[in-house]
């Protein structure tokens, strides 16, 4: 089954300032940056891969204008770099309306063979990195009295899969972090939600996942196809917009998998 037609922008984020991690390339982060710009936002894109980030930023600037696009490399395992990222956003845009925490690291390893280093690396980027970025955003949004955080979780935080103990634990942690921080942030008018995609195809996923596993996961999808990254980005935009004004602490599954 082929994907549906691309949905045009409707000004859902007009004038808002958005920070997106892991936004270089053709994955969910890059698709989200484009969707936010199409919806009228100003966007600070970030990624640990400087060359890919520069290429992504140049492409977006050419299409949407340099006045609406900023880029800064950031490794979410570094508290100093995370702080610098949000400082740059405030310096450039004057405020932060939306933070999309997309950075994560996967991999496949059975627990009996997994090293502490493998476990720790995935948890540090995927869970602790999301915590660092959420914390930085909330500190600024608390003073503003408004803002939205959208985290990227995964259905694997709910569903078991061999070789994914570290990644599943990290994504389940992102879900719990989302729910708990949302209750705290509600006290100062800020919402925190998450998306939980099943299978969104992008070049990095192909590099770290076997062809056999990708085919198996695709067969499980009710539509018989994987999601396009922009289909996940659409839901992120919904959660970032006023259309989800009564939603906080929610994890929205972006999936066509059988129950």
What lies within 8 Å, CB to CB, of 66 at 6+ separation is none
CA 59 to chain centre: 20
What lies within 8 Å, CB to CB, of 108 at 6+ separation is 163, 164, 208, 209, 210, 213
Q: Which of 6, 86, 167, 226 is catalytic?
A: 167
Angle between helices 129-144 and 165-185 (to 10 degrees): 10
What percent helix, strand, coil does the chain show, rounded to 5?
Answer: 50, 15, 30
Catalytic, 226? Answer: no
Residue 198 CA to residue 231 CA, distance in Å, equals 12
Active site residues: 167
């Amino acid at each position: 089954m082929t994907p549906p037609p691309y949905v045009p922008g409707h000004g859902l984020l007009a004038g808002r300032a958005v920070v997106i991690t892991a936004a270089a390339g053709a994955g969910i982060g890059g698709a989200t940056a484009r969707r936010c710009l199409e919806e009228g936002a100003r966007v600070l894109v970030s990624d640990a891969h400087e060359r890919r980030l520069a290429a992504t930023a140049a492409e977006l600037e050419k299409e949407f204008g340099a006045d609406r696009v900023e880029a800064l490399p950031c490794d979410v395992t570094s508290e100093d770099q995370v702080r610098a990222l949000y400082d740059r956003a405030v310096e450039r845009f004057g405020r932060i309306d939306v933070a999309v925490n997309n950075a994560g690291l996967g991999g496949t390893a059975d627990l009996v063979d997994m090293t502490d280093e493998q476990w720790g690396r995935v948890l540090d980027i995927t869970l602790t990195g999301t915590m660092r970025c959420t914390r930085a955003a909330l500190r600024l949004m608390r003073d503003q009295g408004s803002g939205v955080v959208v985290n990227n979780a995964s259905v694997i935080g709910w569903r078991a899969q061999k070789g994914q103990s570290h990644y599943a634990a990290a994504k389940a942690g992102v879900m719990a972090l989302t729910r708990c921080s949302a209750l705290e942030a509600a006290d100062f008018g800020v919402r925190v939600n998450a998306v939980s995609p099943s299978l969104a195809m992008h070049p990095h996923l192909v590099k770290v996942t076997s062809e056999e596993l990708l085919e198996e996961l695709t067969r499980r999808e009710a539509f018989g196809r994987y999601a396009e990254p922009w289909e996940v980005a659409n839901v992120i935009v919904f959660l970032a917009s006023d259309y989800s004004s009564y939603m906080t602490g929610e994890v929205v599954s972006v999936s066509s998998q059988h129950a």
